[in-house]
Amino acid sequence: MERQEEETEKPTKPKAKAVIVGGSVAGLSCAHALISAGWDVVVVEKSSAPPTGTPTGAGLGLGPSARKQIGAWLGRAQRLHDATLPLAVDQNNATDGEKKVSRVLTRDEGFNFRAAHWTELHGLLRKELPPSVVLWGHVFLSFSLSDNKAEVKVKTKVLKTNDTIEITGNLLVAADGCLSSIRQSFLPDLKLRYSGYCAWRGVLDFSGRENSEAILGIKRAYPDLGKCLYFDLGLGTHSVLYELLNKRLNWIWYINQPEPELKVNLLGNSVTMKVSSEMIQEMHREAEKVWLPELARIMKETKEPFINVIYDCDPLEQIFWDNVVLVGDAAHPTTPHGLRSTNMSISDAAVLGLCLKKWGLENLHSALCEYQSLRLPVISRQVLHSRQLGRIKQGLPVVGWERFDPMTSGREECLELQQRNIPFFDEAPLPEDSSI
C-alpha cells in the first residue's frame, strides 16, 4: 500500500517545450513533427490571421516522401491527395520565339509529384493542429538563453495590444524564412546571393471559363495539363506551367536582369517585388515575342501577376547553436528549380522530430547534432544543384558547360534538365532506428 501511494505521489516529468518562430509551412510542419515526438509547442507568427492567399507562394510540387510525411501528420493521406493534382510527367520543351514552334527535349513519365497551392497546403497543416498552438499577430523581437543553456526566452510584441510578452521553452526553432533574423544573430555577415534573374509569377483562375478560347488554346498547346510539369526553354530564359486544383493554371517566367533595389523593411521575410501597371504591360509585350501565343495569352489574362526576386546562399556549415536550430528557408535559402524549398522544409521538420524523439530532452545536444549531420549534406547538395540547374536554363555561365542553347543542345545535355537528377531525389537519410 505504501509503495502504491509513493508511486501515485511521484511528480510527473514536465514535457519538453519548443518555441517555433514562423508560421509558414516549415513552422507548421515542425509543430506537427515535435508534437508527434511528445513535445509541447507554440508557434509565433506575425501575421494577424491565417492566410487566405499569398503572392509569395502560389503553386508548389510535393514529392513522395513529403506527401508520406504530411499524410502521417494529417492522419489520413487521402486528404492531401484530394487537395492536389498529379504531376506525373516532367517535360522540358524548346521554344523558338520567332517561329512560334516548340519541340520536346526530355519527358520523364515517372515523376510522381503532386501539385498543391501554398495556401491550401498551409490550411491542411494548420487545421490539424490544436487551435492554441499558433499565436497569430505576435512579432518576434529577440531571444536569450539561460546561463545553463537549458532554456530559451523569446520576446514578442502582440500586435493587437502592443504588449511585449516572453515565452520560455527548451528549444527555439527558427522557421523565419530566408531573411531569418535568428540566423543573422549567429551569422551576421551572411549575405543572400542574387541569382542573376527574377521571376514573373501568376495564377489564372479559369473556373467558369473552361470553354473559352484562351483555355481551349492552352490545352491544345499543352495537352497534358492536369498531370504534367511543363518547362519551356528559350534562349537565355525559361518558363514553368502546370495546373492546380479547382481550375487554376500556375505559371512562372524567369528573366535575366540586374539585381533590383529592394526595400527589405517593407518585405519582411519575403523577396517579392511590387509591380506597376506599366511593368505588367511591358511583360505582356515581351511574352508575345518569346513564348507560344497560347502561353503569352494566359500570362496576359492573369490578374495581379507579381515578381519574385530569386536568391539563395552558399550552404551553411552549421544549422544549430546550443538550443537554437534552423529549419526551412532559414537553414537553406534556395532557388526554386529543383522544387526543393517546401520539400526540404518538410524533411527538416520530420528529421528534427525523429531526432528529438530518439534522444529526449536530456540529450538535446545529441539530438541536434544528429539532425545537423543528417540534413547538412542533403540541403547543401540540393541548394547547389538547384543553383546550377537555374543557371543552365537561363543560359548563364556554369563551370564545365558552354552556354546552354535549347534549340541546338544534344540529348545528354538535355537529360541534365530533368528534376530527378537532383541529389537525394527519391529519399533523404533518417535517424537510425527510426522510420516515417
DSSP string, 189-235: T---EEEEEEEEEEEEE-TT-TTSHHHHHHHHHSTTTTTEEEEEEET
pLDDT at residue 14 in the model: 75
Kindly tell me the burial class for residue 84, based on how many C-beta atoms sit within 10 Å of its own C-beta (0-12, 13-18, 19 or more): buried
pLDDT at residue 58 in the model: 82
Radius of gyration of the chain (CA): 23
Nine cell digits for residue 428: 533523404
209 Cβ contact partners less than 8 Å away, ≥ 6 residues apart: 215
Cα end-to-end distance, the chain, whole Å:
43
Measured distance CA(345)–CA(347) in Å, rounded: 5
What are the mean pLDDT values of the chain's consecutive 10-residue runs (436 residues total)? 52 84 97 98 95 71 96 90 96 94 96 95 96 96 93 97 97 96 97 96 96 97 98 97 97 96 52 89 97 98 94 97 97 94 97 97 97 98 97 94 89 93 92 71
Nine cell digits for residue 369: 547534432
DSSP string, 290-324: HS-HHHHHHHHH-SS-EEEEEEE-PPPS-SEETTE
Nearest to 105 by CA among 402, 323, 378, 409: 409
DSSP string, 343-409: HHHHHHHHHHHHHHHHH-GGGHHHHHHHHHHHHHHHHHHHHHHHHHHHHHHTT--BTTBPPP-TTT-
Measured distance CA(409)–CA(84) in Å, rounded: 34
Measured distance CA(69)–CA(18) in Å, rounded: 20
326 Cβ contact partners less than 8 Å away, ≥ 6 residues apart: 174, 180, 182, 183, 316, 319, 320
- The dotted CATH code for 17-421 is 3.50.50.60
CA distances from 393 to 160, 250, 380 (A): 46, 19, 20
Nearest to 338 by CA among 395, 298, 396, 378: 378
pLDDT at residue 273 in the model: 82
Measured distance CA(436)–CA(434) in Å, rounded: 7
pLDDT at residue 62 in the model: 97
